[in-house]
Amino acid sequence: MSLFPQYWSEAPCDLYLPKDEVHVWLAHLDQRNLPKEDFWEILSDEEHLKAQRLRSRRDRTRFVSSHGVFRLILGHYLKIKPSDVHISCEVHGKPFIANIKKCTLQFNMAHSSDLALFAFSCDHRIGIDIERIQDLPEAEYIVEAFFTQDEKNALGQVRADQKLETFFRLWTLKEAYTKALGSGLSYKFDRCDPFAENNKNWTRKLFIPANCYQAAIVVEGQIKKFIHWKY
């Protein structure tokens, strides 16, 4: 796997998030230099339980790494200790800061295989998704259950060798949007999708963070500046 350097640069020590920017962070979860033991110390009791329920050692390591990095970055933005960040989730899993009143920081995270992405905005609802591009046995079921008729038509019109990439572009965008809404996949999409090209209430961004991966961000409002940091 190789990252695309045009996206990712080193973050400054003093982080500042203007209202008209979105910050996107990438972490390679299998890096040997990630301080996994230190990560365990800053996770919550609930995160400890979730990690312990994972049967695969690799899955546990990636979970601890992704949530540890997430807490460190949140701590930087909030100017508090990572262990003091109290993350709660809404009904469909959308995270929020529970122990800071009127917190304006909006955030979301996603991981696939050995990569994790973290997105941050100020006052704008935001969702992010990343998927490793690979054969997916349940792809036909996903298309039938969750894609709109327009999306099915678009997928049916592309060449056979482009179907997999097209599927993941549509799927990551849909996942990112439902995460921004906090609705889960129970949200019913129709021909007036709120993330359609002509919709001014949301900004959407498709990008390839590394070879063999597809990612998408959906953020409320018109955002023109996306900053990409590498952890």
Per-residue pLDDT of 202-214, as tens digits, reads 999 999 999 899 9
Please state which of the four CATH numbers 3.90.320.10, 3.40.50.300, 3.90.470.20, 3.90.110.10 is assigned to the domain occupying 9-230. Answer: 3.90.470.20
What is the predicted pLDDT for the residue at 191?
42
Give the separation between CA 147 and CA 185, rounded to whole angstroms: 11
What is the predicted pLDDT for the residue at 165?
92
pLDDT (mean) for 147-174? 89
What is the predicted pLDDT for the residue at 2?
43
157 is written with which tokens?
């019109």
Q: Could you tell me the pTM of the whole model?
A: 0.89
What is the predicted pLDDT for the residue at 38?
87
Can you give the residue ranges of every domain in the chain?
Answer: 9-230
What is the predicted pLDDT for the residue at 108?
96
What is the predicted pLDDT for the residue at 31?
76
Q: Is the pLDDT of residue 101 over 60?
A: yes
In this prediction, residue 152 has a pLDDT band, given cuts at 50, 70 and 90, of confident
Q: Is the pLDDT of residue 1 over 50?
A: no
In this prediction, residue 185 has a pLDDT band, given cuts at 50, 70 and 90, of low
What is the per-residue DSSP string for the chain?
--B-TTT-EEPPSS----TTEEEEEEEETT-TTS-HHHHHHHS-HHHHHHHHH--SHHHHHHHHHHHHHHHHHHHHHHTS-GGG--EEE-TTS-EEESSSTT--EEEEEEEETTEEEEEEEESS-EEEEEEE----TTHHHHHHHH--HHHHHHHHHS-GGGHHHHHHHHHHHHHHHHHHHT-GGGS---TT-TTSTT-SSEEEEEE-SBTTEEEEEEEES---EEEEEE-
In this prediction, residue 192 has a pLDDT band, given cuts at 50, 70 and 90, of very low
What is the predicted pLDDT for the residue at 71?
95
- Pairing of β 9-10 and β 225-230: parallel
Give the separation between CA 81 and CA 231, rounded to whole angstroms: 18
pLDDT (mean) for 128-143? 91
pLDDT (mean) for 50-78? 93
- Average pLDDT over the chain, rounded to an integer: 86
pLDDT (mean) for 164-187? 84
pLDDT: which is higher, 208 or 8:
208
98 is written with which tokens?
């529970």
